[in-house]
Structure 1
Amino acid sequence: MKLVAITSCPTGIAHTYMAAEALQVAAKAMGHEIKVETQGSVGAENVITEKDLREANGIIIAADTKVDKSRFTGRTIIEVPVKEAIRDPKELINRALSAKPEAPAKVDLTEQVSQIKAEEKESRSGIYKHLMTGVSFMIPFVVAGGLLIALGFAIGGIYVFDHPGSFGETLFTTGKSAFALMIPILGAYIAYSIADRPALVPGMIGGYFASTNGSGFLGALLAGFAAGYLVIAIKKYLKLPKTMQGLMPILIIPLLSAGVMGLLMVYVVGEPVAFVNKALADWLNSLNGTNAAILGIILGLMQAFDMGGPVNKAAYAFATSTLVPGHASPIMAAVMAAGMVPPLGIALSTVLAKRKYTAAEKEAGKACWALGASFITEGAIPFAATDPLRVIPSIMAGSAVAGGLSMAFGAGLAVPHGGVWVLLIPNVVTQLVPYIIAILAGTAVTAGILSFIKKPVSEYSNTKVNYENVQGELKL
């Protein structure tokens, strides 16, 4: 039997490729063929062709972001979160092969209306997916902007902005421009996820207002959802004569939705959300000592709890919203330190307690060194999948220690990503030595707890994930 699949996660880095690898390995073990299209951070790879679709006996979409399903019209699709493909790929393949084919679509008005209603219902129930779509499009702007700002400082010094036209100042300004775009992009692609292309204009306009009126990240979230559902409402309730229907996508919807979003962001959303943001910023700036450590502990727990899932992404998105070009954020520092610890702690544990890991797990542990150092928390997922009751509490404890110490030490980070590699750039990290101590301490705590509570290999009898097969992260 032949199958096709698409995998896509919000960051387009780890989960996307791990899910693809799990499906490919499971299909081979079951005697089936599968072609997996990965929609990752570098774009679509191994793209499914028309020939692949004609020959396919089953279709799987494992994604936490919006995936264009227009090419699968009339076909039965098994659609699940990306983690399902990693957790139990064989069951997913069986579901796809046993799914009953849909009846051929009838080209009549009743059928089209029913389909539109079904799509609208689906869009209303996928709030997390809409948010993650926006975040996935925003993250490259955050990362590129942050690193370019850091490089500008490294080349031109801390006052690089006083030297317009210089190489360092050009990099710094380019980074600031990328940062300025991230909020409009977030609003635009949340709206796009809800109501497709017509919602891009009002979503981006709402996001732009959010970036200029002080409502920031929260304002862009509200703008994105408001724009998306506004476009759905316009399409549903505004009926024009057939002769004028062609004006809807190019004139009527952009004009009405953009106008309404502008009024909404100025008179309703702007000031209240800006007030909340200022109050939150004032509170965070007032934190020191024990209070700051408690916040760091909470952020650390969130980073490790689901290793790249919605809780982890919520903490990361919150941290990136505190970044201001030219200034180091203590919250960003705590989140990155905590996110590095799970893979690093597991990697150290595979060295300290070798008899408690299989040969394949020890090989996967070597990859975790690189993944953890690069701030890819998802590297811990294969270990957590096989032994969640021991691994997850261990990595949460270590991440809590790293996040708490980072905040207590007053460490700050001026970039949103990069792991240990950005620590070498001047002016990127404040309190560099204490910050490194926080990461090492968290790593040691995770490794110590896990090495102590994990059972020897011989005591494991029913391992759900085969590490020799699920090592998609090695391809990153």
Structure 2
Amino acid sequence: MSVISPDLVHLDADLGGTTTEVITALAGVVHAAGRASSPQLLADAALAREAQNPTGVPGRVAIPHCRSAAVEVPTLAFARLSRPVDFGGPDGDAELVFLIAAPEGGGKAHLKILSKLARALVRGDFLERLRAATTEEEIVTAVEEVVGDIPQTTPPAEKPTDKPVEKPRTRLVAVTACPTGIAHTYMAADALAQTAAAREDVELHVETQGSSSTEALDPDLIRDADAVIFATDVGVRDRERFAGKPVIESSVKRAINEPSVMLDEAVAASRNPEARRVSGTASASAEKQTELSWPRRIQQAVMTGVSYMIPFVAAGGLLLALGFLVGGYDMANGWQAIALQHSLTNLPGNEVLVDGATVAFDRSGLALYLGAVLFATGQMAMGFIVAALSGYTAYALAGRPGIAPGFVGGAISVLIGAGFIGGLVTGILAGLVAWWIASWKVPRILSSLMPVVIIPLLTSLIVGLTMFLLLGRPLEGIMTGLTDWLSSMSGSSAVVLGVILGLMMCFDLGGPVNKAAYLFATAGLSTGDEASMQIMAAVMAAGMVPPIALSVATILRRSLFTPAEQENGKSAWLLGLSFISEGAIPFAAADPFRVIPSMMVGGAVTGATAMALGVGSRAPHGGVFVLFAIDPWWGFLLAILAGTVVSAATVIALKQFWPTKAVAAATVDA
């Protein structure tokens, strides 16, 4: 089946005045052609990709694209718009729009076809042909001609021997990569390669780290390169290959919009002894080091550490909750003795010898033993959270050489009682020290030992000495004071904390502020005290409110929301019940000034209610599906209900008396 057909082409059409409307309309075209099982699922996936980075490209073209479970065969829908729409392109509103829809989890062959189209969009003759077409069949023919052959990973670069030059060429290598790996990756590669081919002073080889294929650069090319260009929006895979080379870094869209400028910068870097060089870092947060301030880089590194820590928290916390469910809530009194002293052939009774004393349990036999095993596994996972936070924060700052000293620092923090505060400090310290040591100019004989031996050794030594001799006791005192304060909370102070946590959880719906509140809750959960479990319950309940409230609002007052928001509302409630706050992001992105304040008010009500009722959660995630680990469960549900009612009523009121332009226009048209 061809990727495009006449019924997927609309010429000189008015599909709306916003990106949401155009993408939604094209998703409907794909569905009407029998190429998508659900237009909304396809539109949601494309809009989520659009929210990451606008897809407007030079030539007044837009290429919204995604991979979706709603699509079974690679598909292109095309519209030549009578009313151009702003897709964030560098030279104005887009007139030509391709919706590129790829099957989720499919093979690479179809992605090669789609990337071939993306590469053709940097050619002026192809765009003019699309603009001049008078029939849908002409568009289909033009597209089929450019996607008919399976492309190579990168266009062949002109070799110096093919054409004599009067002066030596600067040898450059480049890597391009975008989050989806379908379009921008290859457009950036071709923009750089075509610009370089037209110049006599550079020789360029490009590696595209996309979804269709990744043909790694020849090690000899990397060895002989004078400089490196990283045009990426995600981490560069195997970045260590380029260690020591002068480097220019930017977003993938800059390579599309300003390829000549980037080549000039790379040439200049190759001739500058003081130019920044690749230190071997592979972290995504280090990609724009030349453009980010140190506070911003540290903030991103901490968020990276939190994101890597969360799987330990989620797995460990849920296993602890299952341990309590299976083995009883007195499991904490002797889980280690039960798990180590017994087996499937030697099941425990309801009395177990723990540290020389006999301890009675509510349950016995297989239930008690399996509960202890689940609990022990969860404890081991929870034991890694501070080390993971520290290790991956250091990794985000310094790459692979920062991991070991970061984990060492986190383990030291646990040993001396500094907890997650110590883990944050050691992660940042280890990352900065490792980054500093990596910047040293060392003899070539030592360069290969730097990332695997010298940097981890020296950084671990510095972090260990700093923690034991200087920072450990003060940080331990801060952590102890914080724990004591949480344990002493009651009455109005607990309610105020619930309000603050609820506001934080609903402020950016999965962003840094939301993650900070979640980190505060999950880090305390490892202590097992009652106050920490109450904080966890308040955070989880508040994070569930936005998607549920917006889903309710779209049902109660459908006319106040755009068609795309109405469709999002049909599934948002399930995301909310699962504690996936990100289900509200499409609403907040489209209308932040009405949605975000409304959600924050409801989150504050939920947090305050949960704390006032003394609701505690032993599980760090799962929403209503872990009610067995929440006590009292009815208080948890009541807090969510209260916040949902407040948020839904507030957002309906704001949209009623201060309607958005899209809704107002739809109302007038109706």
User: TM-score band, normalised by the shorter chain?
Assistant: 0.7 to 0.9
Q: State the shift of 1:364 in Å.
A: 0.8
Q: Does 1:290 align with 2:492?
A: yes
Corresponding residue of 2:379: 176
Q: State the shift of 1:368 in Å.
A: 0.8
Q: Partners in 2 of 1:295 and 1:107 — Cα distance?
A: 54
Q: State the shift of 1:220 in Å.
A: 0.8
1:309 to 511, 516, 519: 511
What's the TM-score, normalizing by structure 1? 0.79
Cα distance change of structure 1 residues 344 and 112 upon mapping to structure 2, 3 Å threshold: farther
1:321 to 506, 523, 530: 523
Corresponding residue of 1:12: none
What's the TM-score, normalizing by structure 2? 0.57
2:604 to 358, 379, 400: 400
Q: Which has the higher strand share?
A: 2
Aligned alpha-carbon RMSD (Å): 3.6
Q: State the shift of 1:385 in Å.
A: 2.1
Corresponding residue of 2:258: 99
Checking the alignment, whether the CA contact within 8 Å between 2:544 and 2:640 is kept in structure 1 is yes
Corresponding residue of 1:20: 49
Identity between Structure 1 and Structure 2 (%) = 41
Cα distance change of structure 1 residues 55 and 375 upon mapping to structure 2, 3 Å threshold: same
Corresponding residue of 2:3: none
Q: Partners in 2 of 1:291 and 1:404 — Cα distance?
A: 10
1:258 to 456, 460, 476: 460
1:331 to 524, 530, 535: 535
* Counterparts of residues 196-235 of structure 1 (less than 5 Å): 196-235=399-438
Q: Partners in 1 of 2:588 and 2:320 — Cα distance?
A: 35
* Counterparts of residues 144-183 of structure 1 (less than 5 Å): 144-160=315-331, 161=335, 163-164=338-339, 165=343, 166-183=369-386
Gaps of 5+ in 2: 1-43, 57-61, 65-78, 80-95, 105-177, 193-229, 280-285, 344-368
Checking the alignment, whether the CA contact within 8 Å between 1:149 and 1:325 is kept in structure 2 is no
Q: Partners in 1 of 2:182 and 2:499 — Cα distance?
A: 44
Q: Partners in 2 of 1:229 and 1:17 — Cα distance?
A: 38
Of the structure 1 ranges 402-411 and 263-272, higher mean CA displacement relative to structure 2 is found in 263-272
Cα distance change of structure 1 residues 449 and 204 upon mapping to structure 2, 3 Å threshold: same
CA deviations on 1:99-125 (whole Å, 9 max, x unpaired) are 234227569975575122997655835
Checking the alignment, whether the CA contact within 8 Å between 2:544 and 2:577 is kept in structure 1 is yes
Checking the alignment, whether the CA contact within 8 Å between 2:395 and 2:431 is kept in structure 1 is yes
Cα distance change of structure 1 residues 396 and 61 upon mapping to structure 2, 3 Å threshold: farther
The count of corresponding residues between Structure 1 and Structure 2 is: 425
Checking the alignment, whether the CA contact within 8 Å between 2:269 and 2:275 is kept in structure 1 is no
CA deviations on 1:9-28 (whole Å, 9 max, x unpaired) are xxxxxx99964255579514
Q: Partners in 2 of 1:16 and 1:178 — Cα distance?
A: 33
Corresponding residue of 1:243: 445
DSSP 3-state at the match of 1:322 = helix
Corresponding residue of 2:277: 116
Checking the alignment, whether the CA contact within 8 Å between 2:562 and 2:663 is kept in structure 1 is no
Corresponding residue of 2:159: none
Query: 1:150 is matched by which residue type in structure 2?
Result: A
Q: Does 1:31 align with 2:72?
A: no
Gaps of 5+ in 1: 1-14, 39-43, 80-92, 467-476
Cα distance change of structure 1 residues 123 and 250 upon mapping to structure 2, 3 Å threshold: farther
Bigger-Rg structure (1/2): 2
Q: State the shift of 1:240 in Å.
A: 4.1
Q: Partners in 2 of 1:123 and 1:137 — Cα distance?
A: 23
Checking the alignment, whether the CA contact within 8 Å between 1:319 and 1:332 is kept in structure 2 is yes
Checking the alignment, whether the CA contact within 8 Å between 2:534 and 2:614 is kept in structure 1 is yes
2:480 to 246, 262, 278: 278
Q: Partners in 2 of 1:308 and 1:67 — Cα distance?
A: 24
CA deviations on 1:177-216 (whole Å, 9 max, x unpaired) are 1111111111111111111111111111001111221111
Query: 2:433 is matched by which residue type in structure 1?
Result: L
Query: 1:103 is matched by which residue type in structure 2?
Result: L
Query: 1:20 is matched by which residue type in structure 2?
Result: R
Q: Does 1:445 align with 2:481?
A: no
DSSP 3-state at the match of 1:163 = helix
Cα distance change of structure 1 residues 109 and 451 upon mapping to structure 2, 3 Å threshold: closer
Cα distance change of structure 1 residues 172 and 47 upon mapping to structure 2, 3 Å threshold: farther
Checking the alignment, whether the CA contact within 8 Å between 1:176 and 1:325 is kept in structure 2 is no
CA deviations on 1:35-70 (whole Å, 9 max, x unpaired) are 99x9xxxxx99667999478544897556xx66594
DSSP 3-state at the match of 1:115 = coil
CA deviations on 1:336-357 (whole Å, 9 max, x unpaired) are 1111001111111111112222
